[in-house]
Structure formats: structure tokens, C-alpha cells
Amino acid sequence: MLETSSSHQAPPADWHRDDREPAVRQADDLAWEAGAPASSDLESLRRELEKAVTRICPTWLSAQSDDLVQMSLMRVVEQIRNCDEHRSFNASYLRRTAYCALVDEIRRVRSRREWSTTDESGGDHPLEGHGPDPEQRLIARQIGSHIRACLTGLITPRRVAVALKLQGESAPEAARLLGWSLRKTENLIYRGLADLRKCLSQKGLSKERGAL
């Protein structure tokens, strides 16, 4: 038998004051003092999450992006409520907590999703995607798989530097995160990309072949 728990609690009588002027500001101040984020912080966090999810999530997940954002926000609030300590939560903490909740949700949705085609690694699924042309989708997926295979063959420093480059990071940012000098990082990216292109050529992937 499953454990059952339930709790019902009426909200404070004045929680809903919506006259945005001094009342809300005062409520937000009180919330901060009580360790809760201000409603304006949550709203701003929601906007940030929505923007990031919209830009990042693939098409199939975008249909659920509102749910993902809302659920991650609810988890933020739950976590704050469950925190015993009397402390304040700054915007940076809220962003991190929301990010963790969002990634958890994305992992949960992705792991539950059933695919019509699976590859041998149990990881990615090369035959599905979005785009106008199924053949182009298939080619793009295959190229991605080849890129990954080629990256795996690179020596570790080059692999890491090129991976960040392919993730859209700038060389200075990559250098900062990886703890290398800018010169070294640029060199690793340059040589790593050259290795990657050479490897792809050996696999028959080049512009002439129409694959890239």
C-alpha cells in the first residue's frame, strides 16, 4: 500500500494584493525578509527560462516548453519552501535552481519518450528529426554521428577545445573555462578542427559530396 499524504492550507488573506504600487513592493520586501523571492524575480526568471528554452529546445520539445518552464519554477518554489534556514535567495541562486529543475525535466521527458528507431548505442536516433526534407534530415544526422566519431578519435585537449567551439563558445570563453591560455586554446581549436575535417574527408564527407 502506498503511503498517502495530503495537506490543505488556506493562503494568507492578503496574498493576492494586485495593486502593483506600494502594496506589491511591500509584499515583495516582506517575502524577501522571509526568505522567499519577490514575485518580480520569479517573473523575470520565467522570462529568461522561456527565452532560453525557446532558443535551445528542439521542435518536438517546444510543444512542451511552457510546461517545462512552469514545472521548473514550481520546483524552485518548493525547494525554497522546504529550506529550513532563514536565508535570502538572490537571482543567481534562483537561476541555477531553475536550470537544474529544467534539465531534470528535459531528461525525464527524453527518457520516457519512445522512438520508432534506435541506434546501437542507445543514444541518438539518426533517422528522425525536423526539417523539410527527410533525406536531408537523414544526412544531417549521419554527419553528426561522423563528427562525434571523429571527435572521439582526437587527442583529449583538442577534443575538448573543439567540443566547446562546436557548442558555440568563443575561444576566450573556452580558455577561461578550461584553464588554458588563449593562445594555447586557439591553437588546440585550430589543430583540432583540422584533424576533424581530415577525419570527415576520410569518411567521404566534404562539400563536393554534397553532404556538407
Partner 1 sequence: MTHPTSDQLQQAFTQLSERARPRDDCPEPDQLWRARTGQLSPRATRRIVKHTVECGVCAESWRLAAELEAGRERPMGRVIPFPVPLWTVAAAVLLLGILVPIFGPHLWRPVTSIDRGEDLERIESELAAQEGLSRADFHLRWNLEPAQKNLIRYELHVTTEDLFHVLVHETDLVEPEFKVPENLLGSLPEGAAVTWRVTAVFEDGSRTSRVFVTRVQ
Q: Applying CB under 8 A, does 191 fall inside the site for partner 1? A: no
Inter-CA distances, 186 with 12, 127, 192, Å: 58, 35, 10
For partner 1, which residue of 82, 85, 179, 210 counts as binding (CB under 8 A)?
Answer: 179
Size of site (CB under 8 A) for partner 1: 104
Contacting partner 1 within 96-115 (CB under 8 A): 96, 99-104, 106-115
Q: State residue 14 phi and psi, 5-degree precision.
A: -105, 20
Cα distances from 120 to residues 37, 58, 128, 150, 204, in angstroms, run: 46, 22, 15, 17, 22
Binding map of partner 1 across residues 31-70, x = CB under 8 A, - = no contact:
x----x--x--x-----xx-xxx-xxxxxxx-xx--x--x
81 binds partner 1 (CB under 8 A): yes
- Residue 134 interacts with partner 1 (CB under 8 A)? yes
Contact pattern for partner 1 over residues 5 through 24, marking x by CB under 8 A: xxxxxxxxx-xx-x------
Residue closest to 14 by CA, chosen among 32, 31, 33: 31
Helices 134-153 + 156-166 axis angle, to 10: 150
In the chain, the N- to C-terminal Cα span, in Å, equals: 57
Pick the binder of partner 1 from 82, 120, 132, 135 (CB under 8 A).
Answer: 132
DSSP character at residue 123:
S
Distance in angstroms (rounded) separating the CA atoms of residues 176 and 183: 12
> Least separation, in Å, of the C-beta of 15 and partner 1?
6
Does position 192 bind partner 1 by CB under 8 A? no
Q: How far is the CB of 164 from partner 1 (least distance, A)?
A: 6
